[in-house]
Amino acid sequence: MTLDGIDEQIIRALTVDGRASYGAIGAKVNLSAPAVKRRVDRLRARGVITGFTVRVEPAEIGWGTEAYVELFCNPRTSGAEVTRRVRAYPEVVEAFMVTGDADALLHVFAGSMQHFERVLTEISAEPFVARTRSVLVLSPLLRRVQAPRSHPGTAADTPE
C-alpha cells in the first residue's frame, strides 16, 4: 500500500497519542473527523495500523533491568522455533532474526539482576541455543515509537 502524506501524518499523530480523537487529528491534518476515521479504518483494513496500545515505562512498574541478548542457535534452528520457545518468557518483549554473528536478538526486561540471571539461564538451557551473549542497558538515551517517514517519490498530500 502506498501511503500519502496525510496518511503518514495521521499515523504519526496516532503514534504520539493513540487516544487522540479523530477531530483533534483532523485539525492537525486539515481534514474533517469523518474523513480521518475513513482513512484510519482503511489503514486498519489494509494492515498498516495493526492495533492501539499503551506505552508503559518499565522501571515504573518494577522492571528496572533491561538487556539485549544475542542467541547463537544450533544448526537448522528455524525462526519459527525461536519464536515459539521465547514466547514462553514474559520478560522477552521483542525478538528478531538478525544478520551478523548471532542468529537472533532478544530484548529483555527483568525486575532485578537476579531475575535477569534466572531468565538468561533458562533461555540458555533451551535445546536450540548453543550460546548467548548479553548486553545490559545502563540507561536509555532515546526511546521513540514512530512511523518511519516515507521514501522519496511517494504520493503527494491529497486530502479526501
Residues 75 and 124 both lie in one domain: yes
Q: What is the CATH number of the domain that holds 16?
A: 1.10.10.10
The verdict on 66 and 117 lying in the same domain is yes
CATH code, domain with 110: 3.30.70.920
Cα–Cα dist 127/69, whole Å: 16
What single DSSP character describes residue 6? H
One domain for residues 27 and 89: no
Do 64 and 126 share a structural domain?
A: yes
At residue 1, does pLDDT exceed 90? no
**Structural domain range at position 26:** 5-45
What does the alpha-carbon distance between residue 100 and residue 13 come to, in Å, rounded to a whole number?
35
Are 98 and 63 within one domain?
yes
Please state the pTM of the whole predicted model: 0.76
Measured distance CA(157)–CA(69) in Å, rounded:
41
CB 35 within 8 A of CB 26: yes
pLDDT at residue 2, as a whole number: 80
Q: What is the mean predicted confidence (pLDDT) over 39-56?
A: 91
Average pLDDT (131-154) is 77
- 65 belongs to a structural domain: yes
Summarize pLDDT for 53-100 with one digit per residue, the tens: 888 888 899 999 999 999 999 999 999 999 999 999 999 999 999 999
- 71 and 122 in a single domain? The answer is yes
Residues 134 and 67: their CA atoms lie apart, in Å, by 7
The count of domains in the chain is 2
Instruction: Tell which wins on pLDDT, 54 or 118.
Output: 118
Those residues with Cβ within 8 angstroms of residue 23's Cβ, 6 or more apart along the chain or in another chain: 33, 36
* Domain membership flag for residue 77: yes
Q: Is the distance from CB of 93 to CB of 106 less than 8 angstroms?
A: no
What's residue 150's pLDDT? 56
